[in-house]
Amino acid sequence: MDSFEELPDKIVSLDQVRINRGIEKICKCDKRTFVIDPANRRINCNSCGAVVDPYDAMYELAAKGERMKESVERLLEQRKQIANYKPWLKVIKNLEKQYRGRKMIPNCPRCHEPFYLEEIVHWTGKPYADARIKKYKTTNSD
């Protein structure tokens, strides 16, 4: 029981390390960019200059990287769609859509007689056809 007599009456406080749980994060910038200080091994916010936790900085950079990768993939897909876009096929696709089921049959734009698309067996070069169409329009507009 001698050991109880040696105990001090008061507790001596060691204030070398304390946890302050009520403090919020110093930097609250929305779109942060970071400045790395290699001499002091710190990361600071480029906007407000506050010290940023390295884990938070790495997490934000990784999240931005994922978003950028998704954006790049989406842009590449759009690029492929644009590269595969052939405006001259719009006319053919429109004809096919109207012709499907053989419920509608096109008419000749000049004589207005109906015809089946299967009847198209000859093709003409565009410059020659443009000249013929122009001549037809001028002679028939009078």
How many alpha carbons lie under 13 Å from residue 28 in its C-beta half-sphere? 4
pTM score, two decimals? 0.44
* 60: enclosing H helix or E strand: helix 54-84
Can you give the pLDDT at residue 108? Answer: 86
Q: What angle do CA 74, 78, 84 make, to 5 degrees?
A: 145
Q: Per-residue pLDDT for the chain (142 aa), expressed as one digit of tens each?
A: 556 677 777 776 666 666 667 667 788 888 889 999 999 999 999 988 889 989 999 999 999 999 999 999 999 999 998 888 887 788 888 888 887 777 788 888 888 899 888 888 888 999 999 999 899 888 887 6
Provide the residue ranges of all domains of the chain, joining segments of one domain with +: 14-84, 102-140
- CB-based burial of residue 142 (10 Å sphere; 0-12 exposed, 13-18 middle, 19+ buried)? exposed
d(CA 35, CA 45): 6
d(CA 60, CA 32): 9
Beta strands 42-45 and 51-52, pairing class: antiparallel
Can you give the pLDDT at residue 116? Answer: 85
